[in-house]
Structure 1
Amino acid sequence: MAGDTGDTSTKPDPKTLHPVYSVTNIQQKIRILDGEEVTYSAWTKLFKLHAKGYKVSHHIDETPPPAKTDETYESWAEIDAIILQWIYGTISMKILSRVLEGDSTAQKAWDKIRDAFLNNMAARAQLLEHKFTNLTLAACSSLDDYFQQLKDLANQLEDVERLVDESRLVLQMIQGLPREYNVAAAIVNQGQAT
């Protein structure tokens, strides 16, 4: 046809499903937030990455929902329920019991989780600092376990705005080692000083 350019990209296809409907198991993409192995900051980074990739960031970024009278509201509410399922499906039972409520939205749940982790920052920071500075190899099942627990505690401290730099992490690792590691500790300490 003379007037047909063949370009249909300007009109969305009403039969095309929103990308959010292609997610079948969110736990394969976002690990379970427990505040210890998976920290709040790591979880939010992963969640936001997926929300952006599936074009649903506006459900958790303070963007107001459409008015209930808006023709897009039903579609928005359906997608919001899926995002809410993602949130509930990627948090531990302990956290879920603190944020689960009827008639919630993804934004409300997102805000409750943020508040649960950030409102008591000073108290959490103090507790984590105590655990971090008092952890020793003797309290762990192996050297790998000891190093991993210190790294996990350092990540948790970052969530409460107490950055543990690499130098401090190494020095703390050395401090918690028993005497038989003194020679190795001295070598590492010497390397840290240079």
Structure 2
Amino acid sequence: MTWAELFKIHARSHKVIDHIIPPAKGKEKVPQTEYDFIHTDMADFPNVSAYCQHLKSMLDQLKNVDFPVDNNKLVLQLVSGLTEPYNGVATLIRQSDPLPQFYQARSMLTLEEAGLTKKVAQNSSSAMIACDSDDSPDVFDYPSSNHNNGGKRSQKSQ
């Protein structure tokens, strides 16, 4: 890909291509789907799978109107829309050379989501155990037969 093509893609993504290259008469402007694609964030979706599925759907729509998006742009858009808990894996994806394929990046994010979900579940159960143990009586609150006789066992008479 030449620098001119990259520049055109960048100009299209920021909706300024018409200032550089005027549209041909009768030719449609860039579809609204490109704007939606660029401004899609994971915060608007319940999970990674739904977010990725939406991006893939928009990719297909753009392809259908002769505005294909290459894998690198798709992966970079995927990463740029992630929420804060995914910053670590987002950095790994961005720093990969070459960038992973979309399906590989999606798998990385799905694994990260599973790990985050497991961590939250563990923290929740630990918090619940901590709360429950505060309500339970302390071991030292119970009288023991060992306290009164200097550590010797009391003998039961028969």
Judge same fold: TM > 0.5, yes or no.
no
Of structures 1 and 2, the one with the larger relative CO (CA 8 A, separation 6+) is: 1
The structure number with the bigger radius of gyration is: 2
Give the TM-score, by structure 1 length. 0.35
